[in-house]
Amino acid sequence: MSASGQQAGDLRRPGSVVPQRVKQSLRAILNPVVRLAMALHLTPNGVTVIGLGLTIVASVLVGTGWLLVGAALLAVGSVLDAVDGALARAQGGGTPFGGFFDSTLDRSGEAILYIGIGAWLLRTQADPILPVILLMVALAGSFLVSYAHARAQGIGLAADVGLAPRTERLVLVIVGVALAGLGWTAGLIGALAIIAALTIVTVVQRIRHVWNLTQAAASESKEN
Amino acid sequence: MSASGQQAGDLRRPGSVVPQRVKQSLRAILNPVVRLAMALHLTPNGVTVIGLGLTIVASVLVGTGWLLVGAALLAVGSVLDAVDGALARAQGGGTPFGGFFDSTLDRSGEAILYIGIGAWLLRTQADPILPVILLMVALAGSFLVSYAHARAQGIGLAADVGLAPRTERLVLVIVGVALAGLGWTAGLIGALAIIAALTIVTVVQRIRHVWNLTQAAASESKEN
């Protein structure tokens, strides 16, 4: 990814809760993996499918109680998750299907991960009501953030604003699973509560943002 | 809604699992409600917000064990859900923001309803693991069906195919909640299992459909 591409990426997402240095170190890992994928003649869509496969394995591991191994695999998967797009750019630009496929499988992976965490909470917690409801709100909130973005794109608007885009959510949930793996379940429940709260705020931010954009467009077309 | 509009709607959604007569009777209720909304000077976005409010109340009722009252309220809400669009058309066409707002609040309502059902299952079932996991798969699958549609729209494609669009999912879940309210919890769990299976099939159908559309567009641009 070029420096200007990075900057554009940063400018599009103000108010992120993940420090820039975390994002930068993720990017530093990215380039050698992209070169490896090219050497192995993998297509971007192939990398997307491998990424979903890793997430499914990680989710089964988390669901069956191997939380630390699952969190480590999710961290590896989160790098792969950026590789498909970077590989597509390195090969001269992605296809419309590739972008659609990547986004849809990203959402599937997010859901599968939350279901794995849900299975673990249901199996191990004496009173799973609050944690599982927080998990469902976090899952639904995450989906709504992505849905609002995609739906705005459908009417030609960019709803990239908000506190909880995908990378931030992923870092929070991986840290939460790792904390639970270290024996501190309240860390996971806290991470889910933070994701639930941040995603609800982000959905409201995106609805307001699209409202402002459509109002600005309407008053502009009246003036002309 | 005009007859041609109805036909276009039917043509866009082949393979639906809900009989046409159910849809037709829903439409018969629609017109007087639209006239009432116009008499009350309600805006389409106002109707959307009222619909979400009804769903929140229904979800709390379901979560606290008032399943039959909740199901009845959801049935009322499902009519309101069609009123905003019909009202917008009757008032000379909807706005881009209205469409975005309606879709995003529809998804929010769907999530809130599933969370209410989840709370009820967690509170009442001796072994809630399987029902709650089915519920999470049904929720995630429903979201993925809508997400794939919105994401395809963003690249200019219509992914309206599939067995489980919103109306069919809503009918299934309302029937399931009503059956549980009549004491047959297996009916609700069965409905969730059917929604889970149908939505997964629908997501695969939509991914294949978008693949076929993009391949057709690519070969057409090569020939030209």
pLDDT by residue, tens only, chain A of 224 residues: 333 333 333 333 445 555 677 667 767 778 888 888 889 988 989 999 999 999 999 999 999 999 999 999 998 888 887 888 888 888 887 888 999 999 999 999 999 999 999 999 999 999 999 999 999 999 999 999 999 999 999 888 888 888 777 888 999 999 999 999 999 999 999 999 999 999 999 999 999 999 999 988 877 776 65
Domain count, chain B: 1
A51-73 b/e with 16+ CB inside 10 Å = b?
Answer: bbebbbbbbebbbeebbeebbbb
Asked, for residue A223, whether it belongs to a domain, the answer is no
Asked, for residue B1, whether it belongs to a domain, the answer is no
pTM, to two decimals: 0.87
Asked, for residue B222, whether it belongs to a domain, the answer is no
Choose among B104, B156, B218: nearest Cβ to A151: B104
- Using a CB-CB cut-off of 8 Å, the residues of chain B touching A108 are 140, 144, 203
Token pair for residue A68?
A: 């630390």
Check B129 against A119: CB less than 8 A apart.
Answer: yes
Q: How far is A98 from chain B (nearest CA, A)?
A: 9
Whether B125 contacts chain A with CB within 8 A: no
Token pair 């709650």 is at which residue?
B132
For residue A52, the enclosing domain spans: 3-214
- Write the CA distances from B194 to B15, B71, B120, B190, integer angstroms: 15, 18, 19, 6
Looking up residue B146, the CATH number of its domain turns out to be 1.20.120.1760
Residue A132, SS3? helix
d(CA B185, CA B191): 10
- Using a CB-CB cut-off of 8 Å, the residues of chain B touching A107 are 143-144, 147
Token pair 């992976």 is at which residue?
A109
Q: How far is A128 from chain B (nearest CA, A)?
A: 8
Asked, for residue A31, whether it belongs to a domain, the answer is yes
Check A148 against B104: CB less than 8 A apart.
Answer: yes
Choose among A104, A144, A155: nearest Cβ to B108: A144
